[in-house]
Amino acid sequence: MPQPATAARHPRLRTLALLASTLLLTACTGTPRTPDASATTPQVTGPLCAALPTGTDPGNPTFLASQPVEAALRWIPTLTTFEAALRTSGVLTDLPAGTPVTVLAPTDDAFAATFSEDNWDDLMTHHPDQLRTLLKAHLSTGAHPIDDLTTAGSTTTLDGTTITVTRTGPTTRLADRANTVCANYQATNARIHIINAVLGPLPVTADGTGHRAH
């Protein structure tokens, strides 16, 4: 007489066989997964964004989102003056580790319109306190998207100044002096908004000649 299959003669083995079949089916068909928020591409906005790295280009917004803010700034080609000044001054390293920060970063052209080459070199070399004060006018604690700043209507920078933040068409105006030209870059624990003018009380070394090489 034929003998029944082993699984049929042993209920426990039959249960294990069914479980194995279920796991195999799940592995083959897949199960819904919660989208990974970190995989979302940051949406930068502003008229300058199209001229900056996109897609898979080095320095694209998705890549920068995984970088510390100091490294992220080095990858944005229009911020060489601002990045060098931050690095020289050490302002960011003075913040407690892990402090979220919002960076209002003037473009190289913004600095060129405000300082001559000699003026800027003098500020970088001989006036560290004035340089730090100037840079603090472009930093605030908390990593704030531009819409949050606009909703709040103001933000207080590290130099203790409260500046107005208002929507102006497709851009955002800061302190009635600068407009965002590419906002909402993300970095590790930071937001970076590129602006088209230098903020804060300008040092005496600024002459506004616009002759700085860039």
- Summarised one tens digit per residue, pLDDT across range 23-32 is 344 333 444 3
Q: What is the tens place of the pLDDT at every residue in 77-127?
A: 999 999 999 999 999 999 998 999 999 999 999 999 999 999 999 999 999
Q: What is the enclosing helix (H) or strand (E) of 162?
A: strand 162-168
Distance (Å, whole) CA 67 – CA 84? 17
Q: pLDDT band for 168, please (50, 70, 90 cuts).
A: confident
With vertex at residue 59, the alpha carbon angle to CA 158 and CA 90, rounded to the nearest 5 degrees, is 30
Q: Rounded to two decimals, what is the model's pTM?
A: 0.79
How many Å is the Cα radius of gyration of the chain? 27
Judge contact between 68 and 188, C-beta under 8 A: yes
Predicted confidence (pLDDT) at residue 165 exceeds the cutoff of 80? yes
Q: Is 107 exposed, middle or buried, given 0-12, 13-18 or 19+ CB atoms closer than 10 A?
A: buried
Those residues whose C-beta lies under 8 Å from the C-beta of residue 29, and which sit 6 or more positions away, are: none
Residue written as token pair 């949406």: 43
Q: What is the enclosing helix (H) or strand (E) of 135?
A: helix 128-136
CATH architecture, domain 42-195 = Roll (2.30)
DSSP character at residue 78: G
Residue 48: which of 72, 74, 79, 69 has the closest Cα? Answer: 79
Q: pLDDT band for 41, please (50, 70, 90 cuts).
A: confident
Distance from first CA to last CA of the chain, Å, rounded?
95
Tell me what pLDDT residue 7 has: 45
